[in-house]
Chains A and B, each alone.
Chain A
Amino acid sequence: MAERLLEVKGLKVQFATVDGTVKAVDGVSFELERGKVLGIVGESGSGKSVTAMTLMGLTRDVNSRFEGEVVYKGKDLLQVSDTEMQQYRGAEMGMIFQDPMTSLNPVYRIGEQIVEAIRTHEKIDKRAAKNRAVELLRQVGIPNPEMRVDDFPHQFSGGMRQRAMIAIALSCNPDVLIADEPTTALDVTIQAQIIELIDRLKDDFNSAVILITHDLGVVADVADEIIVMYAGNVVERAATRDLFYDPQMPYTWGLLGSIPRLDRPRPERLHSITGSPPSLINLPQGCAFRPRCPHAFDRCTQRPPLENHVDPPSHLDRCWLDVEYKRAHRGDTIAGGKPEAA
């Protein structure tokens, strides 16, 4: 068995606001092993980014409350001090943010920003750090890195900026790389390049990756395991093939059905999940997806547990529906076709 790098147990994150307590993450558990890619999928507001930022210690604030454990190499990161956290952040865990346009500092050269990241964690002189920066830019596929290292962010295209972000995230050889919607702001062609790059670098750097996205298509061929999140909860969790070929949660079907697919004939209409995600201050009673679920019945007013219902035992879902019923009905949703009743 591969080395277990990260174990998240029952993580809850709450923020106190003037409007009430926001339950951003409400009980998330997963494990991450070296060399693996974990996909976290969900809509905006499902808590996937807050989960990632909490792993990095970026949600620490007077108004936030945490429960559960984030065990990294045997140490609970929720308990360490802010100064100790700085040693993990960047050095042990690197993060790639969604928007390459706003996450680089526009008034510093690309090279300076990479050198800063390196010298924060390692005692190494400027020249050596800069050589490392050039090498990193080469590894992430920036052509002519000796010249480009002295460019400013505005001289890079969107795809190149995201590559530079990846170079910064990798600068200290982190064991865990967290990519939060790394391709959402990019063209499909560049998206394909970046996903392939992350997958390759994971092997080169012998690390593990958490890939966060709202598009199941993006993680289909790189993730080993996928977590589907809804309203701060894990609603389904399975190995990638199991999730795509035997999805158990109606929300997962909806996500699959929303993707305009090129591998199938064009349906009359795309499936769409009606309505929008619930407010995290006033969660619906019972299953959070109930108000949008076309298959909801009276039992759904109680919250279903995250349990195994199908083979293999690692496949968990949060739904009261009968497995046979689900297998008979999910096809319509996934293939699109009939519009759901509003």
Chain B
Amino acid sequence: MSEVAQPGQPLIEVRDIKKYFPIRSGLMQREVARVHAVDGVSFAVQPGETLGLVGESGCGKSTLGRTIVRLYEPTAGQIIFQGVPIEGHGARKLRPLRREMQMVFQDPYASLNPRKRVGSIIGDPLKIHKLGDKKERKARVEELLETVGLSPEHYNRYPHEFSGGQRQRIGIARSLALNPKLVVADEPVSALDVSIQSQMLNLLEDLQNEFNLTYIFIAHDLGVVRHVSDRIAVMYLGKIVEMSPAEELYQRPIMPYTEALLSAVPVPDPDLAAKRERIVLEGDVPSPINPPSGCRFHPRCRYATQVCSEIEPPLVEYGNGHLAACHHPLNVDAGLTAVGSTSAEGPA
């Protein structure tokens, strides 16, 4: 199953992927509505690259991550891993692929089985894939524990004996056990203290260099993803609304939603924080059962006009690999503005 990757070929590519969850009700359990969790997302990730996936709770970023590693069956669209479409694979055909794609979960308390010792939490993937004998597996687990900054003596301990940060290290060690190519990290640092957060971000960066990993890094905080990402995709209600090389997104956000997300990140500098205009988004993300018409962000957007509620803006390229879907793009020269939209002066 291990294909030789051709140069320039993305490690993973998704094309117009959709994931809807049916809502059933009544005696016959008829489908009465659908949650449009992921609604037509396309992107490609190159080997060794980190794609940051950012958005608020309920924007579909976790569903997308889980669909990519095929924990969920996509409703429509294609997932191409190393040149092979895998969206239709059944459980048996997926099994060899599971070694190549792993996941790190958000909650270090819920994602480790409290009744199992660290040795079997990290070692079970090896057992399932029938790799090595008992002795070799133990040696491998001890090596992994050292790699993530724990000690081999922790082999026989239970998860409750560890702090939140240490547990997250166990989760990372487990994801690395099978030497994967792709790691989908779903909010791996959101549950941790800032001081531990930075340890974890540095660790993930080191591991990427050491094992040539490709990451899809999911987070709700643009401050956190900046440190790990090469490119960043901003999601809103199941769609990508802006995608750009990492630094470019911070210098020149085009979509007003990105601008609002950026301004929500706290700045640890009282004078600057007082001076800075903070765009506080009103309310929550609308329900993905009946997403708003036109641009899905328009009910919360301060630049919204009539056209935003009627026509859905397409994802347009603004140069530099910077894509955005907006009728009133910010920080864009009038000449570059997409056809059919008026230019809006963004704050400098």
A244 touches B268 (CB 8 A): yes
A190 touches B194 (CB 8 A): no
B318 located at the interface, meaning its Cβ lies under 8 Å from any Cβ of chain A in the complex: no
Interface residues of A in 245-273 (CB under 8 A from B): 254-263, 266, 269-273
B151 located at the interface, meaning its Cβ lies under 8 Å from any Cβ of chain A in the complex: no
B267 partner, pick from A193, A258, A261, beta carbons under 8 A = A261
B9 located at the interface, meaning its Cβ lies under 8 Å from any Cβ of chain A in the complex: no
Q: For residue B270, which residues in chain A have a CB less than 8 angstroms away from its CB? A: 220-221, 240-241, 244
- Measured between C-beta atoms, what is the minimum distance from B222 to chain A in Å? 7
A160–B283 alpha-carbon span in the complex (Å):
9
Q: For residue A187, which residues in chain B have a CB less than 8 angstroms away from its CB? A: 56-57, 220
| Count of residues in B whose CB is under 8 Å from the partner chain | 46
B226 partner, pick from A44, A244, A262, beta carbons under 8 A = A262
B198 touches A272 (CB 8 A): yes
The stretch that binds A, out of B76-84, B272-280, B329-337, is: B272-280
| Count of residues in A whose CB is under 8 Å from the partner chain | 44
A217 touches B266 (CB 8 A): yes
- Measured between C-beta atoms, what is the minimum distance from A249 to chain B in Å? 14
A254 partner, pick from B57, B195, B268, beta carbons under 8 A = B195
Q: For residue B199, which residues in chain A have a CB less than 8 angstroms away from its CB? A: 272-274
Q: For residue A266, which residues in chain B have a CB less than 8 angstroms away from its CB? A: 226-227, 247
A196 located at the interface, meaning its Cβ lies under 8 Å from any Cβ of chain B in the complex: yes
B315 located at the interface, meaning its Cβ lies under 8 Å from any Cβ of chain A in the complex: no
Q: Choose among A190, A191, A263, A270 the residue with the greatest number of B CB atoms under 10 Å from its CB.
A: A270
Q: For residue A257, which residues in chain B have a CB less than 8 angstroms away from its CB? A: 198
- Closest-by-CB residue of A relative to B57 is A187
- Closest-by-CB residue of B relative to A223 is B270
Q: For residue B247, which residues in chain A have a CB less than 8 angstroms away from its CB? A: 266
Contacts A44-B193, A221-B270 known; A260 to B201 CB distance under 8 Å? yes
B284 partner, pick from A159, A220, A258, A271, beta carbons under 8 A = A159
Q: When each residue 161-172 of chain B gets 1 if its CB lies under 8 Å from chain A and 0 otherwise, what string results? A: 001111000000
B267 touches A43 (CB 8 A): no
B267 touches A217 (CB 8 A): yes
A262 touches B198 (CB 8 A): no
Q: For residue A273, which residues in chain B have a CB less than 8 angstroms away from its CB? A: 195, 199
B234 located at the interface, meaning its Cβ lies under 8 Å from any Cβ of chain A in the complex: no
Contacts A160-B284, A270-B198, A272-B199 known; A189 to B56 CB distance under 8 Å? yes
B264 located at the interface, meaning its Cβ lies under 8 Å from any Cβ of chain A in the complex: yes
A339–B203 alpha-carbon span in the complex (Å):
12
Contacts A220-B273, A272-B195, A276-B163 known; A262 to B280 CB distance under 8 Å? no
A188–B247 alpha-carbon span in the complex (Å):
20
Q: When each residue 210-250 of chain B gets 1 if its CB lies under 8 Å from chain A and 0 otherwise, what string results? A: 00000000001111101100000000000000000001001
- Measured between C-beta atoms, what is the minimum distance from B270 to chain A in Å? 5
- Measured between C-beta atoms, what is the minimum distance from B341 to chain A in Å? 25
B197 touches A263 (CB 8 A): no
Q: For residue B269, which residues in chain A have a CB less than 8 angstroms away from its CB? A: 220, 244, 263
A259–B265 alpha-carbon span in the complex (Å):
11
A260 touches B198 (CB 8 A): yes
A276–B196 alpha-carbon span in the complex (Å):
8
A258 touches B197 (CB 8 A): yes
- Measured between C-beta atoms, what is the minimum distance from B37 to chain A in Å? 16
A262 touches B284 (CB 8 A): no
A82–B116 alpha-carbon span in the complex (Å):
42
A217–B280 alpha-carbon span in the complex (Å):
16
A218 located at the interface, meaning its Cβ lies under 8 Å from any Cβ of chain B in the complex: yes
Q: For residue B197, which residues in chain A have a CB less than 8 angstroms away from its CB? A: 258, 260
A44 touches B264 (CB 8 A): no
- Closest-by-CB residue of A relative to B278 is A192
Q: For residue A192, which residues in chain B have a CB less than 8 angstroms away from its CB? A: 263-264, 266, 278, 280
B195 partner, pick from A43, A143, A260, A261, beta carbons under 8 A = A43
Interface residues of B in 276-290 (CB under 8 A from A): 278, 280-281, 283-284
Contacts A188-B220, A217-B266 known; A263 to B272 CB distance under 8 Å? yes
A216 located at the interface, meaning its Cβ lies under 8 Å from any Cβ of chain B in the complex: yes
Q: When each residue 268-284 of chain A gets 1 if its CB lies under 8 Å from chain B and 0 otherwise, what string results? A: 01111110100000000
Q: For residue B220, which residues in chain A have a CB less than 8 angstroms away from its CB? A: 187-189
A269 touches B205 (CB 8 A): yes
Interface residues of B in 38-75 (CB under 8 A from A): 56-58
A254–B199 alpha-carbon span in the complex (Å):
11
B281 touches A270 (CB 8 A): no
A21–B227 alpha-carbon span in the complex (Å):
41
- Measured between C-beta atoms, what is the minimum distance from A296 to chain B in Å? 17
Q: For residue B284, which residues in chain A have a CB less than 8 angstroms away from its CB? A: 157, 159-160, 190
Can you offer 30 A-B residue contacts whose CB atoms are under 8 A? A43-B195, A44-B193, A157-B58, A187-B56, A188-B222, A189-B260, A189-B280, A190-B56, A192-B280, A193-B280, A217-B194, A217-B265, A220-B267, A220-B268, A221-B273, A240-B270, A244-B268, A254-B195, A255-B194, A260-B223, A262-B265, A263-B267, A263-B269, A266-B247, A269-B205, A270-B202, A272-B198, A272-B202, A273-B199, A276-B163
Report, nearest first, the 7 A-B pairs whose CB atoms are least far apart: A217-B266, A221-B273, A270-B198, A258-B198, A272-B198, A260-B223, A217-B268
- A-B contacts besides A193-B280, A259-B223, A262-B250, 8 pairs, CB < 8 Å: A187-B56, A188-B261, A189-B56, A217-B194, A257-B198, A262-B262, A262-B265, A274-B199
